[in-house]
Structure 1
Amino acid sequence: MIPSTSFNTQADFDTDWNYDYPWGTDHNGGARMNKSQVKLSDGTLTLTAKKVSGQKAASHGGQQIAIHYLSGTVHAKEHFNVARGGGYDFDAELRASTTKGTWPAFWLTGVNGWPPEIDMAEWKGSGKISFNTFNTSSQVRARDVAYPSAGDFHKFKCEVRDQNGKDVSVKFYMDGKIIETQYGKGFTGQPMYL
């Protein structure tokens, strides 16, 4: 649904992607998203963070969160909805920091509410990578594994398939090797952002 050429030129990028989160510039961390931290060059999209001061605090879950960084994020204009009997493959070549305080992620999350959430690759500044499926905030399947050579690009694949007209199976791969299969309860028919 998203062509492999979507990072070739700015025009191609603008056809398939939007800046920031679908809901705005803030999420649940100490960074505010800003288009200035997104760069496209030679077919590679680069998202960076820079330390800042004087930003208005973010609000999340009734708490005020100090903003210490401007960072970059993008989301696909297309929504992904696993239909009965259907599914998707998500493929990416990514290089991500594992430095303490960073939180890069390649993920799907619900358009109409949360959950569903599938973290196809998430780095939480621990030197590891996480593969997660959230059915609720307390019903989470998470698999953390060592992340080899953070300075190199790695290949990721996530196969999301309808299981029974209601639930989906999620198979996570890194560098061609399957890491784990997890299940999303009630994810079939739920549109998700990438």
Structure 2
Amino acid sequence: MYGSATDHNHIHLSGNVLTPQATRSNWDEGTSTADPHLPIRYHSGAVHAKHQVRVTDEFPNYEVKGEFQAPGSPGTWPAFWLTGANSRPPESDILEYKGDNRNWFNTFRTSSDVSSTIVSVSSPGSRHEYRTRITKVSDTDVEIHYYLDGTWKAAHRANFVGKPLRVVCDLQMEGSSGSSGPGGGTYYRARNIYIGRSRA
């Protein structure tokens, strides 16, 4: 995934809409370093928020949300998620499509201890609001509530207190979303991204 202050080939911002884009390569990029070592066939965009989410006694409540038009076709893998700043997991997936019209609300406590709530969405490519509310419930645990278009969908519990999390909006291709992906450009649009916290 590519993007910088000077390279806007895969990340665009226009009219308050952020657009990560994926384009298929026509040359040999080699293979992924991750199992199952699939061939790399795309360049795509990713954005990481500068500030991190960290649930503490001082800031026990966070809200992270945005409005997205996400591709849901085979081989596309858009996401809006929280990942551990120092290690992964922890992870919380607010939006994740894997090549079809199902959104995966995931909470990874460890790589093998995962809660998933899968919701069918009639048209991921239309604009929808994805939201999570994270609340400290003990010295170690938070409750993570997931919402789609204002409707509560799930609550997962995880030991995320004090663990810094990065907010990521990215468009991956193939991998968990299947292959072969689309031959042309793929677009993922985001607007009104909000990250907020409140004191105890």
Q: TM bucket by the smaller chain?
A: 0.7 to 0.9
Structure with more relative contact order (C-alpha pairs < 8 Å, separation 6 or more): 2
Give CA deviations for 1:129-161 in whole Å, capped at 9, x if unaligned: 110000111111111111122231101110011
In structure 1, the residue matched to 2:198 is none
Match among 174, 178, 187 for residue 148 of structure 2: 174
Alpha-carbon distance between aligned partners in 2 of 1:192 and 1:139, rounded to the nearest angstrom: 18
Alpha-carbon distance between aligned partners in 1 of 2:71 and 2:21, rounded to the nearest angstrom: 10
Q: Residue 83 of structure 2 aligns to which amino acid in structure 1?
A: T
Match among 113, 118, 131 for residue 105 of structure 2: 131
Q: Does residue 1:41 correspond to 2:14, yes or no?
A: yes
Give CA deviations for 1:51-101 in whole Å, capped at 9, x if unaligned: 113243254346643111111110101111111361210120011011011
In structure 2, the residue matched to 1:187 is 160
Match among 72, 76, 83 for residue 102 of structure 1: 76
Q: Please say which of residues 68-77 and 47-56 is displaced more in the overlay.
A: 47-56
In structure 1, the residue matched to 2:39 is 66
Unaligned ranges ≥5, structure 2: 168-200
Q: Is the 8 A contact 2:29 2:41 kept in 1?
A: no
Match among 41, 52, 77 for residue 79 of structure 1: 52
Q: Does residue 1:50 correspond to 2:23, yes or no?
A: yes
Q: Does residue 1:159 correspond to 2:133, yes or no?
A: yes
Match among 112, 117, 121 for residue 86 of structure 2: 112
Distance 1:138 1:62, change over 3 A: closer
Q: Residue 20 of structure 2 aligns to which amino acid in structure 1?
A: L
Unaligned ranges ≥5, structure 1: 1-17, 21-33
Alpha-carbon distance between aligned partners in 2 of 1:95 and 1:118, rounded to the nearest angstrom: 19
In structure 2, the residue matched to 1:26 is none
Distance 1:88 1:49, change over 3 A: same
Deviation at 1:35, TM superposition (A): 4.4
Alpha-carbon distance between aligned partners in 1 of 2:69 and 2:26, rounded to the nearest angstrom: 27
In structure 2, the residue matched to 1:148 is 122
RMSD in angstroms over aligned alpha carbons? Answer: 1.9
Structure with greater strand percent: 2
Distance 1:114 1:149, change over 3 A: same
* Matched residue SS, 2:9: helix
Deviation at 1:50, TM superposition (A): 1.1
State the identity %. Answer: 34
Alpha-carbon distance between aligned partners in 2 of 1:120 and 1:35, rounded to the nearest angstrom: 25
Alpha-carbon distance between aligned partners in 2 of 1:59 and 1:154, rounded to the nearest angstrom: 31
Alpha-carbon distance between aligned partners in 1 of 2:148 and 2:27, rounded to the nearest angstrom: 39
Q: Is the 8 A contact 2:48 2:166 kept in 1?
A: yes
Give CA deviations for 1:5-38 in whole Å, capped at 9, x if unaligned: xxxxxxxxxxxxx947xxxxxxxxxxxxx74111
Q: Is the 8 A contact 2:3 2:9 kept in 1?
A: no
TM-score, with length taken from structure 1: 0.78
